[in-house]
């Protein structure tokens, strides 16, 4: 058996399922392009039957992103499979259809109300229908880790016989323990006679914080595809984190002898930043590999050891995952030079976008001494929103003190004159948000607010992320009274201004979503 481990990235499907993490097509395309630069083997681009937006995103990625295979998810239902096939078709030979059906007793009895024989039959039918469209078909017995091992072996054998090229064993609810999950994979190798005709994959959720450990245990017992996401985002507590699986295999070659992936690890940090920016899911500071503190050494004794020999406290170098800052951006750079450097960084931008970014770099260079790659990345990522700027910030002045007061001027895309107002609040941010609400006529509640410095230094650029719900008075809430969390981001050296930009970004996203044609109901997984 080969020791090559395939990396199946599901950031755009399972990752996007976490509340508030939804991305628009342009954002998904940028993430997919970055995943291609990272050299993942398979991109699961979405669940095409879920909505027209999902379908269009999968289709756009299948048409435009070169390199990895492009997968679309489908239940074992004809209309799902047909829709997934249509969406991944532009990928040609690189198209994959991923069909799934739950196999555990609890799902059979309470969700599906199907006997084992019915599950077997539908699984085989689903695989066969998908094979009618493309030769690369993956099957997932959902909740596999809580399925009777004998029945799981029976389903695995049947779908391989039907032609499935990959069988994925999901730990859907993050229930597995590493030694048991490894043993389950071994059980399949011992009891499925045709198992060598397919690649065995695993898809581990992180409800007990064991997703990466379970994935590694599966590899040691024969799994050769790992399903994972950037920053470990995904349903509930998320999925196995791509960067942790990949770096564990790379750094601990002694423990995982010979296993290798195709991943270009120097693209890991950029991928993490991009996904965090696009989804608004902030990476915790102490997150392995990509957290702010992952390579920071605070204690004097550690710093002393590091100076004597890096390896005293460092098992991998920051550069190995692409974490380094160059000081080569400046206000004297013309847009040609900026465009060339951005292209080297892997960004595909229009001439107009490059000009806009160049202007922003110049403005930033006037405000702070050094402009780092990370500053520029934050500016570039801000361009990826296809959301029209209905409301723009014209002017902002905030006074703190006993009665915090904000004066705000906003520009509306369809109104000739800017609209100005002033108001007070419990603090400067509250005063500013209330004033924006009065001007726009919306009523937002912050469910989350965070500020992060993009680079170091007192003059660092601050990135503000807000998560907001808008109440029904503004007539922008989704139908059915459901409260939708909208994420907004803003970047500035002034954090009050960054907060205003983030809030306006959330407003513009909400208005945009509201105006778009109503999406079809997402089927539940
Ligand atoms: O967690 C899960 O079981 C899934 C399947 C659709 C693979 O996401
Ligand atoms: Zn999942």
Crossing angle of the two packed helices 495-515 and 428-440, in degrees rounded to 10: 30
29, pLDDT greater than 60: yes
Running DSSP on this structure, what letter comes out for residue 110? I
Overall number of domains in the chain: 3
Average pLDDT over residues 240-268: 97
Same domain, 71 and 162: yes
Distance from C-alpha of 7 to C-alpha of 230, rounded to nearest angstrom:
11
* Token duo for residue 59: 């289709």
| 337-385 per-position pLDDT tens digit | 888 888 877 788 889 989 999 998 888 888 777 788 778 888 887 777 6
**What pLDDT was estimated at residue 472?**
60
Strands 137-142 and 166-171: what pairing?
parallel
Average pLDDT over residues 51-68: 97
Same domain, 268 and 399: no
Instruction: Please state, rounded to an integer, the average pLDDT across all residues of the chain.
Output: 90
Asked whether the whole model's pTM tops 0.85, one would answer no
Average pLDDT over residues 72-80: 98
What ligand has the least distance to the C-alpha of 233?
A: 2
Query: Which of these three, 246, 264, 279, is where a domain ends?
Result: 279
Pocket test for ligand 1, best of 10, 14, 204 (most atoms within 8 A of CB): 14
Question: Is residue 327 in a domain?
Answer: no
Domain that holds residue 512: 391-520
Most confident among 14-23, 321-330, 497-506 (mean pLDDT) = 497-506
Neighbours of 1 (CB within 10 A): 9
Question: Is residue 363 in a domain?
Answer: yes
419, pLDDT greater than 90: yes
Same domain, 35 and 83: yes
Same domain, 168 and 75: yes
**What pLDDT was estimated at residue 184?**
98
Same domain, 446 and 420: yes
User: Residue 255's pLDDT band (boundaries 50, 70, 90)?
Assistant: very high
Distance of CA 307 from the midpoint of ligand 2 (Å): 43
| 154-183 per-position pLDDT tens digit | 999 999 999 999 999 999 999 999 999 999
Instruction: Identify the residue whose C-alpha is closest to ligand 1 atom 3.
Output: 172
56, pLDDT greater than 90: yes
Question: Is residue 317 in a domain?
Answer: no
Pocket test for ligand 1, best of 76, 123, 176, 205 (most atoms within 8 A of CB): 205
Same domain, 370 and 411: no
Q: Which residues, 6+ apart, have CB-to-CB distance to 311 below 8 Å?
A: none
* Token duo for residue 289: 């590999």
407, pLDDT greater than 70: yes
Pocket test for ligand 1, best of 140, 166, 211, 522 (most atoms within 8 A of CB): 140
Same domain, 109 and 232: yes
Same domain, 243 and 106: yes
Distance from C-alpha of 63 to C-alpha of 195, rounded to nearest angstrom:
32
Query: Which of these three, 382, 399, 416, is where a domain ends?
Result: 382
| 195-233 per-position pLDDT tens digit | 999 999 999 999 999 999 999 999 999 999 999 999 999
Average pLDDT over residues 35-53: 97
Same domain, 240 and 353: no
Q: What's the CATH code of the domain at 182?
A: 3.20.20.70
User: Residue 416's pLDDT band (boundaries 50, 70, 90)?
Assistant: confident
Question: Is residue 297 in a domain?
Answer: no
Same domain, 433 and 458: yes
Atom of ligand 1 nearest to the CA of 170: 3
Question: Is residue 321 in a domain?
Answer: no
What ligand has the least distance to the C-alpha of 102?
A: 1
Distance from C-alpha of 285 to C-alpha of 502, rounded to nearest angstrom:
21
Same domain, 356 and 444: no
Same domain, 365 and 400: no
Distance of CA 269 from the midpoint of ligand 2 (Å): 23
CA dihedral 238, 240, 242, 247 (to 10 degrees): 130
Percent of the chain with pLDDT over 90: 68
Q: Which of 234-248, 403-417, 503-517 has the lowest mean pLDDT?
A: 503-517
520, pLDDT greater than 60: no
Question: Is residue 525 in a domain?
Answer: no
| 105-161 per-position pLDDT tens digit | 999 999 999 999 999 999 999 999 999 999 999 999 999 999 999 999 999 999 999
Query: Which of these three, 214, 244, 279, is where a domain ends?
Result: 279
Atom of ligand 1 nearest to the CA of 142: 3
Atom of ligand 1 nearest to the CA of 10: 8
Does ligand 1 lie within 6 Å of residue 170's CB atom? Answer: yes
């Amino acid at each position: 058996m080969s020791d090559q481990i395939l990396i199946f990235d599901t950031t755009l499907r399972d990752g996007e399922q976490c509340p508030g993490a939804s991305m628009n097509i342009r954002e998904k395309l940028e993430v997919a392009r970055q995943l291609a630069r990272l050299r993942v083997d398979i991109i699961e681009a979405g669940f095409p039957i879920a909505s027209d937006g999902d379908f269009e995103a999968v289709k756009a990625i299948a048409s435009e992103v070169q390199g990895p295979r492009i997968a679309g998810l489908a239940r074992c239902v004809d209309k799902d499979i047909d829709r997934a096939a249509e969406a991944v078709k532009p990928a040609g030979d690189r198209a994959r259809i991923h069909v799934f059906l739950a196999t555990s007793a609890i799902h059979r009895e309470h969700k599906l109300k199907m006997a084992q024989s019915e599950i077997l039959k539908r699984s085989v039918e689903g695989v066969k229908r998908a094979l009618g469209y493309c030769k690369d078909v993956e099957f997932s017995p959902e909740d596999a880790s809580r399925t009777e091992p004998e029945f799981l072996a029976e389903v695995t054998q049947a779908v391989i016989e039907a032609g499935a090229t990959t069988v994925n064993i999901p730990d859907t609810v993050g229930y597995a323990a590493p030694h048991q999950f490894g043993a389950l994979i071994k059980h399949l190798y011992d009891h499925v006679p045709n198992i060598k005709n397919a690649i065995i994959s695993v898809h581990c959720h992180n409800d007990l914080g064991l997703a990466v450990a379970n994935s590694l245990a599966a590899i040691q017992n024969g799994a050769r595809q790992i399903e994972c996401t950037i920053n470990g985002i995904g349903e509930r507590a998320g999925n196995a984190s791509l960067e942790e699986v990949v770096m564990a295999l790379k750094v601990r070659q002694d423990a995982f002898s010979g296993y290798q992936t195709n991943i270009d690890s120097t693209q890991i940090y950029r991928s993490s930043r991009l996904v965090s920016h696009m989804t608004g899911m902030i990476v915790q500071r102490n997150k392995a590999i990509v957290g702010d503190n992952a390579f920071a050494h605070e204690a004097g004794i550690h710093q002393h050891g590091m100076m004597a020999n890096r390896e005293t406290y460092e098992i991998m170098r920051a550069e190995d995952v692409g974490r380094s800052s160059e000081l080569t951006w400046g206000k004297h750079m013309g847009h040609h030079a900026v465009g060339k450097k951005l292209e080297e960084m892997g960004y595909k931008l229009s001439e107009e976008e490059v000009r806009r970014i160049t202007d922003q770099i110049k403005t930033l260079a006037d405000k702070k001494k050094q402009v780092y790659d990370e500053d520029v990345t934050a500016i570039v990522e801000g361009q990826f929103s296809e959301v029209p700027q209905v409301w723009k910030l014209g002017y902002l002045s905030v006074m703190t003190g006993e009665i915090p007061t904000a004066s705000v001027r906003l520009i509306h895309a369809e109104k000739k004159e800017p609209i100005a107002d002033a108001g007070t609040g419990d603090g400067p941010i509250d005063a500013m948000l209330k004033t924006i609400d009065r001007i726009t006529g919306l009523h937002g509640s912050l469910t989350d607010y965070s500020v992060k410095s993009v680079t170091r230094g007192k003059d660092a650029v601050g990135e503000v992320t807000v998560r907001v719900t808008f109440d029904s008075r503004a007539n922008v809430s989704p139908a059915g009274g459901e409260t939708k969390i909208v994420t907004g981001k803003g970047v500035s050296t002034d954090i009050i201004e960054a907060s205003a930009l983030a809030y306006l970004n959330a407003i513009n996203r909400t208005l945009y979503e509201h105006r778009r044609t109503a999406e079809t109901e997402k089927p539940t997984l």
